[in-house]
Amino acid sequence: MKIAVFNTKSYDQDYFENYNKNYHFDFTFLESALNEKTAQITSGFDAVCVFVNDVVNKETIKILAENGIRLIALRCAGYNNVDLEAAREAHIKVVRVPAYSPEAVAEHAMALILTLNRKTHKAYNRVREGNFSLKNLIGFNIHGKTLGVIGTGQIGAAFCHVAQGFGVQILAFDINENQALKDLGVTFVSLKELFKKSDIISLHCPLNVHTKHIINKSSIAEMKEGVMIINTSRGALIDTNDVIDGLINNKIGYLGIDVYEQEENLFFEDHSEHIIKDETILRLMSFPNVLITSHQAFFTQEAMDKITTTTLDNIKSFKEGAVLKNEVKT
């Protein structure tokens, strides 16, 4: 099979080439993102491999189908960037990596919490400059605080296990309550109660019509003064402008994000020698109590191993006509 891999970074190519020794697929690695403007590149290929910021909408899928593409292989868990109905109508299968390393994302979420709270990033920079002052570096004990977890799938559950070691009270919200987490001591509550009682809120839910902008002006108004909000899931779970308002009026005391609603035009690339034209991200970056990482929560050796092998296994199953256990359906 000939597969076009879009949005390729050097590490993607290294992992795929290493593991492909056992699969013998014909990969072409492309730096460009897949969208309706670049989809014509796929002529002569059998499948495309895409990532979170590729735009696989109806228009893109139409071109893919015309070019003979039969499989869209996502090398990620989320699939909100794919028009599944259009893919079904075009008879193109869609597969994903449902779980790679929940612990990777969970641990990064906790890293954001600890860094924001204890300001270790600022302390590091100070000491490097010979400044050993503790002024404005004061934090708070996480022990004894109430932690709200929205979404208790594999990543949310892993986060609860990590957080439990800090001696917090864990409140959770999910449409499907997790009995194993209940047995662990996690209390499932309504979303409104979670907003009202949590000192820290961490988002671990998928992006869909029900969760888009789940953090907005209305929900922020229900939260505690000085609440900490962490998002390592999908950028559009947060209404960025409403969060900025919350930061300005001190309702939100801390914000840690590894994802951003407009990240497809920004993340994963080096913009250090260019003027960033996204005024919203620049505004966020100006706040001293905001910490932004560039969608790196997943980025561990273990996660990359799993992402690569699962993607290759998905393609192999399709090639052999086997059951696609990781198929995404409408």
Structural domains of the chain ordered from first start? 2-100+300-320 (3.40.50.720), 102-292 (3.40.50.720)
What pLDDT does 5 receive? 98
Amino acid at 184: L
* Residues tagged active-site: 234, 263, 295
In this structure, what token pair is assigned to residue 149?
């977890």
Distance CA 119, CA 121 (A): 5
Distance CA 34, CA 138 (A): 45
Q: What is the DSSP letter of 33?
A: P
Angle, CA of 116, 212 and 115, to the nearest 5°: 5
Residues 36 and 59: beta-carbon distance below 8 Å: yes
What pLDDT does 105 receive? 96
Residues with Cβ < 8 Å from 113, sequence gap 6 or more? 142, 200, 202, 228, 230, 256
Residues 227 and 171: beta-carbon distance below 8 Å: no
List per-block mean pLDDT (blocks of 10 residues) for the chain, which spans 330 residues.
Answer: 96 97 97 96 97 95 98 94 97 94 96 98 97 98 98 97 98 96 97 98 95 98 98 97 98 98 88 93 97 96 96 98 94
What pLDDT does 143 receive? 98
- Cβ atoms < 10 Å from Cβ of 134: 9
Among 295, 227, 279, 222, which residue's Cα sits nearest to residue 255?
A: 227
Taken in order 104, 79, 315, 60, the sign of the CA dihedral is: negative
Residues 318 and 71: beta-carbon distance below 8 Å: yes
Amino acid at 218: S
Among 204, 207, 219, 142, which residue's Cα sits nearest to residue 172?
A: 204
Phi-psi region of 118 (alpha: psi -120 to 50; beta: other; left: phi over 0): alpha
Q: Angle 301-320/10-19 helices, nearest 10 degrees?
A: 60
